[in-house]
Amino acid sequence: MHRKSWWLGFPFILGVVLMLLNISYVQAGGEPLSGSGPRELNLQIHKGGCYTCHVDSNLTGSFEDGDTISLSVDSLEFQQSIHGRNNLICEDCHQETIQIPHRESSQINCPTCHIEDVATKPFDFSFLQIELPYSNRREMTLALNNNCLPCHEDEFAMTADSIHGEILSAGNVFAPLCVDCHGSHDVSDPNQPRNKISKTCGNCHKAVFSTYQISVHSKALEDHSNLDVPTCVDCHGVHSVLGPRDLDFRNSSVMICGDCHSNPEIMEKYGISTDVLETYIEDFHGRTVNLFRIQQEGNPSNKAVCYDCHGIHNILPADNPQSQVYPKNLQYTCGRCHEDANITFPEAWLSHFSPDLESTPALYYVNTIYPLLIAGTLGSMGLYIILDARKRLAERWSKKKPKVTDTAETHLESEEHQDQNHEMDLGPEESPQV
């Protein structure tokens, strides 16, 4: 009889508990359940309702494989996130868990085992272990990843077409998803601070990240917080990630490097020549690669691009003994393509500096005179062709034009010839008397 009367008063007890929880939530820094509009009121009510259970650090979920995961959410962390600052509420992302309980599943709490103590002792209703409808953690992440689509359609589409999307479509469930890069309830600006970008990529690309850390780019970023140096996304893209195996990446990599290294505003700060792109395009390697880039998309050139000589993620200053373009290392660097390269082979390389009168006078004069010589030769040939064509046309025209004097003389000769023939036909007797 006592137990039956307790259950009849349960709605009242539950209301008191929820009211106390809301007061505790306000005292902990939350906002009271009031608002200036339906959205604000729904926001506060929903947070209060979800936080009733999900602020409990003991709230866990279990997967079919026996693994468990914390279902607790740091309310302050969420409020400081991009979503929290924009007043998103839980149901904006978790449409499948609006109803309470969220689904028919086994849920363990105090009354499950201590039914007799419920009426006489206080207990924590939110101390739960819930069976989740997923076989493992990754299956849950894959399912929740689609919740980003309604708000981020463009980013979702670009990711699907990227190398990450291709890997995922090929069946690799561990390809990066939204939450792998941006987090879940703690979503923050992905480039604040800027070195966060490379660290995020480094969670999966550990070997590449280790190599990048010793590069001149990473050193400037980590040691001096330099915003001019590139991070992963500056070369590979953000959501439309391109990798070195992409057909167009090799040819287009020249322009990726050139965007920064031909920028006077950036290069002037570090005393680096901005002629690197132009001098590269003018040599044999650059002309060939640029031709492939413009006219043969999807057909990577086999000629050297920037990273073949300078390195990929291990780029170092040219005066660093470990650099691939350090003078003593050039024979090996060139030899990877030019197998017959000897010790003097690299001496023919002018680096990215244009010939000048002081350092290379002979080559300077050749480069100066050669264009004039070519222009003079081609100009002379062109003038000769024009004059010759003019002469030939004049001769042809003169042959086609009839001569008046020649025609008159021919006519007179014809008349005399006819008179002579007439006299011969008449004979001596019939010839006219003069």
Q: Which two tokens stand for residue 294?
A: 């413009």
Question: Could you tell me if 348 and 341 are in contact, meaning their C-beta atoms sit under 8 angstroms apart?
Answer: no
Q: Which of the four pLDDT bands, split at 50, 70 and 90, describes residue 360?
A: confident
Strands 129-131 and 60-62: parallel
Residue whose structure tokens are 């004059």:
387
Ramachandran region, residue 237 (left: φ > 0; alpha: ψ -120 to 50; beta: rest): left
CA distances from 427 to 3, 83, 312, 421, 430 (A): 168, 132, 114, 11, 6
Sheet holding 129-131, edge to edge: 68-70, 60-62, 129-131, 107-108
Q: Which two tokens stand for residue 30?
A: 């939350």
Model pLDDT for residues 58-72, shown as the tens digit of each residue? 888 899 999 999 999
Model pLDDT for residues 310-351, shown as the tens digit of each residue? 999 999 998 999 999 998 999 999 999 998 888 888 877 767
**Lowest mean pLDDT segment, chosen from 105-109, 229-233, 377-381:** 105-109
Contacts of 387 (CB under 8 A, 6+ apart): none
DSSP state for residue 131 in the 8-state scheme: E
pLDDT value at 434 more than 50: no
CB-neighbour burial class of residue 300 (10 A; exposed 0-12, middle 13-18, buried 19+)? buried
pLDDT value at 197 more than 50: yes
359 vs 374 pLDDT, higher one: 374
CA atoms within 13 A on the CB side of 83: 20
Residue 229 CB neighbours (<10 A)? 21
Question: Could you tell me if 65 and 136 are in contact, meaning their C-beta atoms sit under 8 angstroms apart?
Answer: yes
Q: Which two tokens stand for residue 382?
A: 């062109």
- Gap between the Cα atoms of 68 and 184, Å rounded: 17
Q: What is the mean pLDDT of the chain?
A: 79
Q: Does a cis peptide bond (omega within 30 degrees of 0) precede residue 190? A: no
Whole-structure pTM value? 0.67
pLDDT value at 124 more than 70: no
pLDDT value at 304 more than 70: yes
Q: Where are the domains of the chain?
A: 1-135, 136-185, 242-354, 358-388
- Gap between the Cα atoms of 294 and 292, Å rounded: 6
Q: Which two tokens stand for residue 319?
A: 């005066």
Contacts of 326 (CB under 8 A, 6+ apart): 318, 319, 320
SS (H, E, C) 69-118: EECCCCHHHHHCCHHHHCCCCHHHHCHHHCCCCCCCCCEECHHHHCHHHC
| Residue type at 226 in one-letter notation | N
- Gap between the Cα atoms of 364 and 355, Å rounded: 5
Residue whose structure tokens are 């999966």:
204
pLDDT value at 394 more than 60: yes
Q: Which of the four pLDDT bands, split at 50, 70 and 90, describes residue 1?
A: very low
- Gap between the Cα atoms of 197 and 222, Å rounded: 12
E strand spans, 79-164: 107-108, 129-131
Contacts of 36 (CB under 8 A, 6+ apart): none
Using DSSP's 3-state secondary structure scheme, residue 102 falls into coil
Which pLDDT score, from 0 to 100, does residue 425 have?
55
SS (H, E, C) 232-265: HHHHHCCCCCCCCCCCCHHHHHHHHHHHHHCCHH
